[in-house]
Structure 1
Amino acid sequence: MSREELAALCKESICPGCDVFKEAESIRLRALADSENVKKRLLRETEEMKKYAGESVLADLLPILDNLDLALAHTDGLSAECKNFVIGVDMTRKLFVDAVKGHGLEVVQAAKGADFDPEVHDAVGTVQEPGLGDNQIAQVIQNGYRLKGRLLRPAKVMVNKP
């Protein structure tokens, strides 16, 4: 039997209304849908991987930013000669912040008197500070950061509990 004869025989025996044809068509459509879903998932995963590719590098750089902030926080009562050094540290910090902002890093808002938000703040302790309401931030210990909307590190704060 030739290929043409076999094809003709198959066309004669399988009609669009029979169960074999319907089952084969169903299997074919499911396979097409599965392959489309795999393509979409791979595209989504690739885009997400590109978006957050620098996450670990930026997370490793955060302690540097913390140390620059700490150095600037302890500049009260310095001599005039040291003020120039502080200006240099501040300029370095600004350049560093601008560089990481260009890659999507942003500071989590945490300020004295703001409401504590467990989604973006990490309470490291409580204090009693007059003038602040219950569950308000009394002190920011360490800034928190987001990378393109995703929380990279929560802000460490002291919370007021009267």
Structure 2
Amino acid sequence: MTKDSTQDPLLDGAPAAPEAADGASAAVELELTADELQALCRDRLCPACPVAAQAEDDRLRALAELDNTRKRLEREKEEHRKYASEKVLADLLPALDNLDLALEHAPKDEAARNFVLGVDMTRKALLDALAANGLVPVGEAGAEFTPELHEAVGQDQRDDLAPNTVTRVLQRGYKLSGRLLRPAKVMVNAGQ
């Protein structure tokens, strides 16, 4: 069988078509599976070929970029899920502040006892619902003043507390899943 100039150079090593029984060449169509074609290409490709090296480098970079994008999208999705309720919870804080004020200025007589108890139960139910969504109150009297959690609105002069200590909480602050939603407004001890 003679090699013709139109024959595919990749098929040089392929087996020749079988001769027909009568001695004439039979036209047999050469069909390769995908695995056989890949193996043939690998055998024919020079390992030091810069085109192949560049193609492999591009493939690896594309895979790394795809993996980085997938991880970034997962992080963004998790952060969005974690803080999706932030606006709604921030809008509920004034209602919670009003319940705190109602309890702080509630009459102490026996006639208002049930009313005050109802307001306190409503406040606790609201706090429990907010806590279930990741909201945590911050700011306690007697705690050390930290600018990350507190907003100082004034100073007090108390000898029974250390300097730079919160003396009164005027408005409670809140954190949502570790992020400060609103700082606590406090009075700070000026010290001696």
TM-score (structure 2 length as normaliser): 0.74
Which position in structure 1 is the counterpart of 2:50? 19
Amino acid of the structure 2 residue aligned with 1:100: L
Identify which of 44, 59, 68 aligns with 1:28: 59
Give the 3 Å change call, closer, same or farther, for CA 8–30 of structure 1 in structure 2: farther
Which position in structure 1 is the counterpart of 2:187? 158
Give the 3 Å change call, closer, same or farther, for CA 29–126 of structure 1 in structure 2: same
Which position in structure 1 is the counterpart of 2:103? 72
Which position in structure 2 is the counterpart of 1:60? 91
The CA distance in 2 between the partners of 1:113 and 1:55, in whole Å, is 28
Deviation at 1:14, TM superposition (A): 4.3
Post-superposition Cα deviations, 1:59-99, rounded to whole Å, max 9, x if no partner, equal: 110111011001100124x4322222111111111111111
Bigger proportion of residues as helix = 1
Which position in structure 1 is the counterpart of 2:164? 135
How many percent identity over aligned positions? 54
Bigger relative CO (Cα 8 Å, ≥ 6 apart): 1
Amino acid of the structure 1 residue aligned with 2:177: K
Which position in structure 2 is the counterpart of 1:97? 127
Q: CA RMSD in A?
A: 2.2
1:45 aligned onto 2:76? yes
Which position in structure 1 is the counterpart of 2:23? none
Give the 3 Å change call, closer, same or farther, for CA 85–6 of structure 1 in structure 2: farther
Structure 1: give runs of 5+ residues left out of the alignment.
Answer: none
1:81 aligned onto 2:84? no
Q: Is the 8 A contact 1:112 1:138 kept in 2?
A: yes
TM-score (structure 1 length as normaliser): 0.87
Any idea what SS the aligned residue of 1:141 has? Answer: strand
Give the 3 Å change call, closer, same or farther, for CA 8–29 of structure 1 in structure 2: farther
The CA distance in 2 between the partners of 1:8 and 1:71, in whole Å, is 90
Any idea what SS the aligned residue of 2:8 has? Answer: helix
The CA distance in 2 between the partners of 1:131 and 1:28, in whole Å, is 69
Amino acid of the structure 1 residue aligned with 2:130: V
Amino acid of the structure 1 residue aligned with 2:158: E
Q: Is the 8 A contact 2:10 2:44 kept in 1?
A: no
The CA distance in 2 between the partners of 1:124 and 1:79, in whole Å, is 32
Identify which of 124, 138, 146 aligns with 2:175: 146
The CA distance in 1 between the partners of 2:134 and 2:11, in whole Å, is 63
Which position in structure 2 is the counterpart of 1:106? 136
Deviation at 1:15, TM superposition (A): 1.8
